Structure 1
Amino acid sequence: MREMSNQKRISRIEEILRHKQPDLQVILDDVNSSQNLSAIIRSCDGAGVLHLYYAAGCNDTLKVHKTITQGAHRWLRRKHIATEEKVTFLEEKKAEGYQVVVTHLDENAVSFREIDYTKPTLLVMGNEKEGVSKEVLALADHKIIIPMQGMVQSLNVSVATALILYEAQRQREDKGMYETAQLDSEEQEQIKEEWLYRDIIARRSKGKIKLPGE
């Protein structure tokens, strides 16, 4: 019975990896709420995001709330980017062919629905109070807003991230990008081995052992 259960788990992981979108990435620019981080992780997993980056200064060890992520943190690759390195990181992404899409209330900003997210995209979400930093804004290919009809001008960063990612998912689904594996077989196998190791340890320890990146 346990062998059958393990095989189902492996099959589920393989299915998830076939749908992952490695060129739809998210970076958080000094988001400082661990609750927001955890909710964003869950939305990223739901939309098929593989890579989540977070640039932070003094608070570079944001806690992951497992009651919020519901295990989604185990199915993403998360990486901390030092504040002083985020400009270089973004420049490198642009050189790789990524469009940098930044949420920012600006007269030149367009609705988030007007962007073509089927292109390699790095979505930048800003700090809860001050938004995206000036040095990051200078590198933006597109500035976007979520149209609001009330007195408040913006949504909570985790809610905003979810809305934008699910617009990206809609566009990518329409183009059939979830039906064709975006990761090659070697990458899928490598990530599967990483995930299986983490999954087995997490289940055997019933969450008592802190795994790397948690």
Structure 2
Amino acid sequence: MVHVSSACIVEEEWISLGKFEDFTDIPSKVGSQWYISGTALGELNPGDRSQQDRGPTLSEAESQSEWADVQKKIIPWGHNTPESDLELVFQDRAAKLGKSISRLIVVASLIDKPTNLGGLCRTCEVFGAAVLVVGSLQRVSDRQFQHLSVSAEQWLPLVEVRPAQLMDYLQQKKAEGYTVIGVEQMARSSDLAQYRFPDKSLLLLGNEREGIPANLIQQLDMCVEIPQQGVIRSLNVHVSGALLIWEYTRQQLLKCAEPAC
């Protein structure tokens, strides 16, 4: 028996010794010469994130209920589904994006840190934002960006608008009917809990240190502030953006739940 720690097996992958008794004659007793593990695997308990094997004695209905609370996640690059099935999964995802009701544009051209950009890319893709605007498309190849985005850049439209071009871009989008919304704590800011997003919303996020420059603040149609209860009066830009992206999505979902939708 191979020692668990030497095999680098995580606890979710442990297999109880009893599972081998039906198809092997190798003894599993501690006194056996084949048994070299310092700790009997049968004495080890799975962690909080593991689902214990209940054995073959449960009925089908009971078995299904036992597994009802198991996490179900699909990681595109690590999925074991055959390639033909994966293509169907991704085609279905693309079809959903094509039917997306979201017309939210998230502008992150002022953000410098690749971790914040990668996290925003992931958040935008998850909630079906229409476009993510970045200062440079070269950021997408950054390893820190990709670590946080988990391939979201492959499914989300990205547009490059450099910081020096933002003024013209915002004016163009305003002419197309978009409401330009900034995330800043200002005297005229609206409470996020009370604000109702227009269908065509453009969310402008500021730089990690300096926020939104004064010349771009003048282009804002609305400034939204996230209500806070703590002593610290600021949030990470990715967190701030994620809260507004979700609130926009939530309001759109509520609209679609209405009979007239």
Query: Shorter-chain-normalised TM-score: which range?
Result: 0.7 to 0.9
Distance 2:171 2:158 in 1: 19
In terms of mean alpha carbon deviation, does 160-169 or 4-13 score higher? 4-13
Which residue number corresponds to residue 126 of structure 1?
A: 206
Distance 1:150 1:82 in 2: 35
> Please, which of 91, 101, 106 is the counterpart of residue 10 of structure 1?
91
Tell me whether 1:52 sits opposite 2:132 in the alignment.
yes
Distance 1:8 1:109 in 2: 42
Q: How big is the shift at 1:42?
A: 0.7
Query: What amino acid maps onto 2:222 in structure 1?
Result: H
Tell me whether 1:174 sits opposite 2:254 in the alignment.
yes
- Aligned-residue sequence identity (percent) comes to 25
Distance 1:5 1:119 in 2: 33
Distance 2:83 2:185 in 1: 52
Verify the 8 A CA contact 2:193 2:227 in the aligned structure 1: no
Tell me whether 1:39 sits opposite 2:119 in the alignment.
yes
Tell me whether 1:158 sits opposite 2:238 in the alignment.
yes
Q: For this pair of structures, how many residues does the alignment match?
A: 177
The within-5 A match list for 1:179-198 is: none
Whichever structure has more helix as a proportion of its residues is 1
Give the secondary structure class of the aligned counterpart of 1:143. strand
> Please, which of 78, 94, 113 is the counterpart of residue 158 of structure 2?
78
Distance 1:54 1:9 in 2: 24
CA gap of 1:111–1:41, structure 2 versus 1, over 3 A, is: same
Distance 1:74 1:19 in 2: 17
CA gap of 1:136–1:112, structure 2 versus 1, over 3 A, is: same
> Please, which of 112, 117, 135 is the counterpart of residue 215 of structure 2?
135
Q: How big is the shift at 1:29?
A: 4.2
* TM-score, normalization by structure 2: 0.62
Distance 2:109 2:92 in 1: 35
Q: How big is the shift at 1:97?
A: 0.4
Distance 1:27 1:2 in 2: 34
CA gap of 1:6–1:61, structure 2 versus 1, over 3 A, is: closer
Verify the 8 A CA contact 1:55 1:86 in the aligned structure 2: no
Query: What amino acid maps onto 2:93 in structure 1?
Result: R
Which residue number corresponds to residue 61 of structure 1?
A: 138
* Structure with the larger RCO, 1 or 2 (CA within 8 Å, 6+ apart): 1
CA RMSD, Structure 1 to Structure 2 (Å) = 2.5
Tell me whether 1:91 sits opposite 2:205 in the alignment.
no
Please list the CA deviations of residues 173-197 of structure 1 after superposition, one character each: whole Å capped at 9, or x if unmatched.
00118xxxxxxxxxxxxxxxxxxxx
Distance 2:222 2:254 in 1: 22
Give the secondary structure class of the aligned counterpart of 1:31. coil
The within-5 A match list for 1:191-210 is: none
Query: What amino acid maps onto 1:44 in structure 2?
Result: C
Please list the CA deviations of residues 106-126 of structure 1 after superposition, one character each: whole Å capped at 9, or x if unmatched.
111111233322420000010
Unaligned runs of 5+ in 1: 178-214
Verify the 8 A CA contact 2:106 2:204 in the aligned structure 1: yes
* TM-score, normalization by structure 1: 0.75
Please list the CA deviations of residues 152-181 of structure 1 after superposition, one character each: whole Å capped at 9, or x if unmatched.
11110001111111111110000118xxxx
Which residue number corresponds to residue 185 of structure 1?
A: none
Whichever structure has more strand as a proportion of its residues is 1
Q: How big is the shift at 1:4?
A: 4.4
Q: How big is the shift at 1:5?
A: 4.1
Q: Which runs of 4+ in 1 moved over 4 A?
A: none
